Every structure is written in C-alpha cells, then in structure tokens.
Chains A and B, each alone.
Chain A
Amino acid sequence: MTATRRATDTAILAIVVLAIWQILHRIAGETALPAPAPTMSYLVHLLPSARFAANAAATALAFSFALALAYIIGLAIGVWMGAHRLSGAVGEPILVALYSLPKITLYPVVLLIFGLGISGKVAFGAMHGILPVALLTMGAIRAIPPVYLRAARTLRLSPWQTITTVLLPAALPEVFTGLRIGFTVTLLGVLLGEMFASKLGLGSMIMNAMQLAQSEEMVTVAIVLFVFAAVANAILLWIEHRLHRRA
C-alpha cells in the first residue's frame, strides 16, 4: 500500500469521525454535546489557562509516582517469579486472577488505607500497573534460553549482575511490552481515582464540568487525555518494535 493511499484512508476516517460527532451533536443538543468547531476553539482557550495547568500538573505528578511504583514493584515481582520456578508456578494463577478482577471495587479500601489525597490516587494507579508488568516480565524471563544462565554461572556472576547483565537485556523486548501496557492501565487507574474522589486533576475536572453542565470543557479535557494516551502509546509501540527487530 502506498503512503498516499494510507494518508487518504486516515483522512477519510477522521472526516467520518467528525461527521458522526456533528450528527450526535444534532441529536443530543447543545447542552449535552457541543459541536466539533466550538470545542476546538474552546480547546485553544483552555490549554494555556492556569486552571488547566494546575489540574494537568496534579494528574501528571500522581501518574509519575504511580508509574514509578508500578514499574519497580512489577519488575521485582516479575523477575522473582520468572527466575524462581516454584514461586512462579504458585503465584502466576493468583496474579492472573487478580488481573481480571474489576479493581475499581477495591478503590474505597485504597482510600480508607491511603486517604483522599495524592497517595490514594498513586496507590490505585500503581495497583493497576503492577500486574501486567509483573506477568509479562515473568513470561519474558522464563523464555530466556537456559544456556544464558549457565554462561552466567560459569562466569561466576552475582545474582544482581546476572539480573542486570543477562536476564534483563535478554528479556527486554517482552518486558517493554509489559511496561507499555502498564503505562496505559496506570493512567486509567489514576484517572478513575480522580473521577471518583478528588479535588484536583484532569479526571475530577471532567466530573466537575459534567455536574456544572459545561459540556465543552468536559469533552475538551477528555479529548486532551485521549490524544495524550494515543501519542504516548504510539511512541512506546515504536520503541517496542525497534527492540523486537534488534532482538
């Protein structure tokens, strides 16, 4: 397929999406769903505003902490269960069962333990991200050819050296897939947390806008988050493909 044809298809798809949006706007009415054009002009006003910056900064801070925790804990569990066969066999079904649970039901528990501030959001986001990171890391480490480990033992590497110089480089492409999915679900966790109970952050901004019937603001913030997640995912996917090709 040529690049121009691909560009044409994407353009057609974008036009179809805008058309559906416009039709939905006609059906739902001005107060429920604003039209595409006014939303875009609202976006231009909202993005440079101090109010948006404060909320975006709150979400960004909570998300970075949550992501760091999810990666550190997820990688630790994944390396441990991948390298230690018995722990992996015992723990994997437990992790899989936890992964498919609707974690939102546990949010009140998280709030009772960590409180309503940023730590609650961080803990809830991290809870989402830990499991995919751990599961994919474990799978990646199990798939490493045993001869690598035998080489590490022959060279008398310490456990830490074995992890950093043999296990992680060999498992990197798969591990990175886990990190990408972890990124996505951690973001979702933080936003869900903000939507349910928070005074600051983009998730609570959407809920406030809904309660005040400010549909332009609601749709605008949702679109900003949508675009951010899509672009971040595209970048992570690009890195992931490069890692897989190199491996």
Chain B
Amino acid sequence: MTRIGGIRLAVILAMIAALELACRSGLINHRTIIAPSEMASALAALLTSGAVNADIARTLGLILIVIVFSIALGFIAGLAIHALPRLREALDPFFATYYAVPIFIFYPVLIAIFGLSPMPIVVIGVATAVVAMIIATLNGLDRVPRVLTKVARVHRLSRLTTALTLQLPAAAPYLFIGVKLAVSYAFIAVIAAEFILSPAGLGRDIADAYADFNNRRMYALILFLLIVATIVNAALHAFDLRWAERRSGGRQ
C-alpha cells in the first residue's frame, strides 16, 4: 500500500473509532446514533435471519432493471439523436438543463398515474439515469474517427451492424462514463423513491424502522446500502482504471 493510501485508511479508521468511542461513552445518545460495532452486529443478525432477503432482492432487482433499461434506451436514443443534427440542436438546451432541475419532484405524479407499484419507481429511475447515457453516447459518437464511418460505408454495413461492430467499440470509453453515471443515478433514484413512498423495498424498510424508533434495524439497513453502493462504485472505478491502462498500453 502506498503511503497516502495508508494515511487515508488511518483517517477513516480513526473516524470510525472516534464515533465508536463517542457512542460507547454516552457522548452521543444511542437514540441518535448507535455505535459502529453495534451497527455491524445488527446487520450480521439481520442478514442471517433472512428477514430482509425479499426486500433486498426487490430493491437490487429494481436497480438492475433501471440500469439495463437506461443503458439500452440511452444508447439507442443517443444513436438516433446523433443521426439527426437538427433534432440534436433543438434538444441541446434540454440536455443542458436536465440535471439542473429536480426531476424527482415528478415521482408523486407518476404514482398518481401508475398507482403504488414498482412501475413509477422504474419510470423515475430510468428518467433520472437515461439522459446521462444519452449525453455520454452523443459525446462518444462525436469522437468516433471519421475514417471508421467511411470504412463502414465502403463495406456497405447496415445501420445496426455499424452501430454494434464499429460505433459501439470506438465510443466505448465515453459510453462507460455514461454507464457509471447511470448506475449511480439508478441507486439514488430507486432508493429515494422507495424511501418517500413505496409498498416495499429497502428504502421503505429504512423509513419504517425510522418511524418505529427501531435504530438497530435502521442503522443495519443503512450500513448495508452504503456498503453495497460503495462496492459497486469501487468496482466500476477499478474496472475503469484497468481498462484505461490496457488502452494506453496497447498504443505504446
């Protein structure tokens, strides 16, 4: 481990230890925050009991559905918009504003339309994540070398073959930026939606545990979600680094 990595680990451990100490000594009331060791033991107990397995499967399943739809729809929409320059010009201000407005305030409207089911959650999730993928696809396609599209035309490749065998790999590094953002947005939107109003799911579980003053359960679930999100983000980051290394290595 590098020196800086070591310091970072020490800083994080020191913060956890300080929290543990503050909770154990009564400096922080256990009705506000429970000690980190207690959170971990509560999480272990909750996971072995299997009481939340259905909610875990539901929430992670919804996140996965949102990710898959957002990436697929975003890529296809990006291809279509890229092929129509005038539409793209008209949509440009829309893309520039999209993430500046709280799209999430339309979640209650979606509940009114679709009822209290997984549907509004998937729709708000895809609505949040898909635009990042569209923007990343447009950026990526802008950077596909001209010569490649000419090669495709020389070989008389169909639109679909060109998209899959040529544009997709050439734009891949930029598409991956979109994938990372889509994953991150999918997590945020699904959990926030479950949290605010949903028939089931981890977000709903946390909200219920909060309402019941069940701190052990609440902190266990929060810890679980934070661990899952951190692992997913770290995995994407590590993949990105290795991939960038391979690409630059191949060129030298």
How many interface residues does chain A have, given as a range?
Answer: 35 or more
B191 pairs with A105, CB closer than 8 A: yes
Q: A97-B230, A237-B96 are in contact. Are A226 and B4 (CB under 8 A)?
A: no
Chain B binding site: helix, strand, loop or mixed by DSSP?
helix
User: How far, in whole Å, are A61 and B115 apart by their CA atoms in the complex?
Assistant: 33
Q: Is A36 an interface residue (CB 8 A)?
A: no
A94 pairs with B12, CB closer than 8 A: yes
Partner of B31, one of A112, A187, A229: A112
* Min C-beta distance of B38 to chain A, whole Å: 14
A100 pairs with B184, CB closer than 8 A: yes
B105 pairs with A222, CB closer than 8 A: yes
* Min C-beta distance of B212 to chain A, whole Å: 11
For B113, what are the chain A residues with a Cβ–Cβ distance below 8 Å? 24, 28, 32-33
Partner of B104, one of A1, A105, A180, A191: A191
Partner of A102, one of B7, B188, B209: B188
How many interface residues does chain B have, given as a range?
Answer: 35 or more
For A187, what are the chain B residues with a Cβ–Cβ distance below 8 Å? 102
B32 pairs with A108, CB closer than 8 A: no
Which residue, B91, B210, B218, has most C-beta atoms of chain A within 10 A?
A: B210
For A203, what are the chain B residues with a Cβ–Cβ distance below 8 Å? 105
User: How far, in whole Å, are A110 and B42 apart by their CA atoms in the complex?
Assistant: 20
* Min C-beta distance of B189 to chain A, whole Å: 9
Scoring A residues 199 to 223 as 1 if CB is less than 8 Å from chain B, else 0, what string do you get? 0000100110110010100110110
Q: Which positions in B face A, CB cutoff 8 Å?
A: 4, 7-8, 11-12, 31-33, 86, 89-91, 93-94, 96-97, 99-102, 104-106, 108-109, 111-113, 184, 187-188, 191-192, 195-197, 203, 206-207, 209-210, 215, 218, 222, 225-226, 229-230, 233-234
Q: Which positions in A face B, CB cutoff 8 Å?
A: 1, 6, 9-10, 12-13, 24, 28, 31-33, 86, 89-91, 93-94, 97, 100-109, 111-113, 180, 184, 187-188, 191-192, 195-196, 203, 206-207, 209-210, 213, 215, 218-219, 221-222, 225-226, 229-230, 232-234, 237
